[in-house]
């Protein structure tokens, strides 16, 4: 199988602070990593796509200065929510494709529940 | 705009019966469709992928169809079990081969 982990699994922070979420591929090299956001009873919405060593591509309406993505290696991508506000409270999920497989299969992490007070 | 729609928000079914979930796509032709299972508070788990040139695909008790005329995919779980209770998401590639658009999901409840 292909295992993707996320850390932390949940986080509560005060409004105005920054929060970093890590996404790691544990047993494979990830060609591309994706970051999604899911609000209650809604579907996953793609926020950005990142490839190792290059700048992330953000979806329309997603502020790149607020959601900083760093794809430092083939096994690690981080999402930093800067100056978080209550409306940023959501379930953040990462996924990745494997370098040794077709690009049409994504492996998802378990998600990170962010609550901003 | 490209849309993936799962019109049934919830589906209740008796244990042992076949559950059938529907996914429709509009305003584009995806190269493939995927089905995922998502449990509460968890990330999606990949189940099956079917490409546009494939009519049907099976995996154990799961079967997926792809009808390009109806612009629809059906997802079947045969001999359903309470453990199959979860939200099932349909996704289709959009804006390129890797990126996918998700439907809102259908919450399946299998009643013992």
Per-residue pLDDT reduced to its tens digit, A32-42: 899 999 998 88
Which residue of B7, B38, B44, B96 is the best one to mutate when testing the A interface, meaning the one whose CB has the most A CBs within 10 A?
A: B44
Nearest CA in chain B to A94: B43
From the CA of B102, how many Å to the nearest CA of chain A? 6
The pairing of beta strand A112-116 with beta strand A10-13: parallel
Which residues of A fall below an 8 Å CB-CB distance to B?
4, 6, 32, 34, 41-46, 49, 91, 93, 95, 97, 103-111, 113
Alpha-carbon span B103 to B107, nearest angstrom: 12
User: Residue A5 corresponds to which tokens in the numbers above?
Assistant: 């982990």
Closest CB to A46 among B31, B34, B99? B99
The string of pLDDT tens digits covering residues B46-98 is 999 999 999 999 999 999 999 999 999 999 999 999 999 999 999 998 766 67
Alpha-carbon span A85 to A98, nearest angstrom: 34
The string of pLDDT tens digits covering residues A3-20 is 899 999 999 999 999 999
CB distance A14 to A87 below 8 Å: no
Alpha-carbon span A89 to B74, nearest angstrom: 33
């Amino acid at each position: 199988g292909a295992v993707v982990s996320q850390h932390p699994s949940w986080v509560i922070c005060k409004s105005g602070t920054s929060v970093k979420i890590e996404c790691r591929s544990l047993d494979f090299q990830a060609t591309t990593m994706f970051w999604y956001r899911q609000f209650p009873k809604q579907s996953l919405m793609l926020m950005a796509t990142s490839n190792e060593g290059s700048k992330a591509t953000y979806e329309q309406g997603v502020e790149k200065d607020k959601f900083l993505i760093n794809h430092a290696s083939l096994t690690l991508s981080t999402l930093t929510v800067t100056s978080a506000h209550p409306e940023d409270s959501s379930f953040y999920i990462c996924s990745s494709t494997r370098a040794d497989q077709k690009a049409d299969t994504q492996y998802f992490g378990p998600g990170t529940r962010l609550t901003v007070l | 705009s490209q849309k993936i729609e799962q019109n049934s928000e919830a589906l209740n079914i008796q244990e042992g019966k076949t559950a059938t979930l529907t996914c429709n796509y509009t305003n584009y032709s995806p190269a493939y469709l995927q089905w995922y299972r998502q449990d509460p508070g968890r990330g999606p788990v990949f189940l099956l992928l079917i490409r546009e040139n494939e009519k049907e695909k099976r995996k154990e008790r799961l079967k997926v169809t792809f009808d390009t005329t109806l612009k629809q995919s059906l997802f079947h779980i045969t001999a359903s079990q309470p453990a199959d209770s979860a939200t099932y998401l349909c996704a289709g590639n959009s804006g390129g081969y890797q990126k996918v658009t998700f439907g809102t999901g259908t919450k399946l409840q299998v009643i013992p």
